[in-house]
Structure 1
């Protein structure tokens, strides 16, 4: 039976000189779920993860794992497994030797090292030197390292970098399996499309500040339905939309109608005898919502169910 170990980031701030890399950031990561920690490059994700791991001292606030700072955790490698960089390996060591070097620190056996290399699909490369590994292979080895102590909490920084499409699907299934076991999984990414089929919750930051925290469904709720209605008589189309009190935005040859079903728009145009050359769904997708949120970091944070 696994214990439930959450992550609580509480008014976390980090200032480097005149630059505030993380600005009064608060959110919670729950056990039994995969949480996507999202934001553009330079948003403060890696700095936040480094503060969680005690590698960077906060200017203010707290970053707690199971109610404790990382340095207060007894045998932290058995509680927290982290992979922040896929380049921090000695190039002259083999993949197996890399794990063997760190295994004693968490009480892992040689058999555990072999087991993990098999888990991450690296058995055939176990005795090759890491200097010859591809980026994707280094990512897999980093994950094996993070799992050495069979941790309750898994922190991964951009783990899909360098993985091919099959590798990304493999990673998705692995992270889902970890969450199903009751582990707390926090995965950072600057691309929502990489993780949207993997995560249960999302925490989005920009400019070091929280801009959104919710279950993934809460982000879906921000997706806007748009139907483009265009034709040779744009004035008549605009008049129809105004008559129906539809929320709309003008486009060439017609309007984009917001949050009205396409069937209703088409039926209204047909009933009004308006010639239509385009009736199409051009709705704003999840990636568009993500870009909108992260391009306006001064906007107030939106929260939809994840404590923040």
Structure 2
């Protein structure tokens, strides 16, 4: 199945709460057919931005658009973007199925759709249980089912892996990947890059309410400093090799971890006649890149 997902865009978006500037001149776009990770530390302004995108919070400046118009201007907005911003906004006395059935008329779908979705998200056995007794992970699954009610071409999820067990995380990754492969637009927020790096195609990173980076995941990985593990029978020769190459090196296991690409280290070892028993690229650490991009330039106070 092929679905034409809408482009999601924010343009010069800003939001102030009194003297606090929660979002500051934020501009980025989310393309269809891809999973985009919306990343930043806690308090970076992610949820506020998503609320403005969905018309739940009025911007101080700028605008947020879904397919070139505000979300609220779509005749049936839930049929365009399905969103789950909180996994706690449920009536505790309602059953999971009753929760979906309460939203079904607003979205314009049948009760049969509710039954299908409660099974799809793995809650068939708890459909008639009150939500007040659900675990955090079960609430996350119910929030996702609510977002999917209208079979929308775009999905916006805020911290969707919170409370999910490892099996649930893998299930969610596969679901988001499948939706993007159909051509839908998928935007997922997280404050931990490691939670989404195996899922996303693109990243939008904010800190202190401002954009600090937007690119494909592969381009972000290109910012990671490459490292190479080398090990040989003559440690002194390996250290001289690093010194001649001008590379920083530190002990690691029986060898050295060198701040240089493996191809460069291997070529230098060949020219110098230095025998190596192991030469392995360790790549860069995306989490280090993320922390560097989002670090407070003035430091913690």
Do they superpose with TM above 0.5? Answer: yes
Q: Give TM-score, length-normalised by structure 2.
A: 0.87
Q: Distance in 2 between matches of 1:13 and 1:293?
A: 20
1:153 is aligned to 154
Asked if 2 retains the 8 angstrom alpha-carbon contact of 1:238 and 1:255, the reply is: no
Say yes or no: does 1:285 pair with 2:285. yes
Q: CA deviation at 1:127?
A: 0.2
Q: Give TM-score, length-normalised by structure 1.
A: 0.85
Asked if 1 retains the 8 angstrom alpha-carbon contact of 2:35 and 2:180, the reply is: yes
Asked if 1 retains the 8 angstrom alpha-carbon contact of 2:12 and 2:26, the reply is: yes
Distance 1:254-1:220 versus aligned 2 partners, 3 A rule: closer
1:64 is aligned to 65
Asked if 2 retains the 8 angstrom alpha-carbon contact of 1:266 and 1:279, the reply is: no
Indicate which of 266, 276, 290 corresponds to 1:263: 266
Asked if 2 retains the 8 angstrom alpha-carbon contact of 1:207 and 1:297, the reply is: no
Q: Distance in 1 between matches of 2:74 and 2:206?
A: 27
Q: CA deviation at 1:128?
A: 0.3
- Deviations, residues 196-242 of structure 1 (Å, cap 9, x unaligned): 111111111111111111111111211221236799x9998676445
Unaligned runs of 5+ in 2: none
Q: CA deviation at 1:263?
A: 2.9
Match of 2:248, SS state, is strand
Q: Distance in 2 between matches of 1:206 and 1:235?
A: 44
1:249 is aligned to 248
Asked if 2 retains the 8 angstrom alpha-carbon contact of 1:206 and 1:297, the reply is: no
Q: Distance in 2 between matches of 1:196 and 1:220?
A: 10
Say yes or no: does 1:121 pair with 2:111. no
Count matched residues: 293
Q: CA deviation at 1:289?
A: 1.5
1:215 is aligned to 216
Q: In terms of mean alpha carbon deviation, does 234-243 or 38-47 score higher?
A: 234-243
1:304 is aligned to none
Match of 1:56, SS state, is coil
Asked if 1 retains the 8 angstrom alpha-carbon contact of 2:13 and 2:25, the reply is: yes
Asked if 1 retains the 8 angstrom alpha-carbon contact of 2:5 and 2:154, the reply is: no
Distance 1:135-1:278 versus aligned 2 partners, 3 A rule: same
Q: Distance in 1 between matches of 2:57 and 2:184?
A: 24
Q: CA deviation at 1:256?
A: 3.6
Q: Distance in 1 between matches of 2:163 and 2:270?
A: 48
Q: Distance in 2 between matches of 1:53 and 1:267?
A: 58
RMSD: 2.7
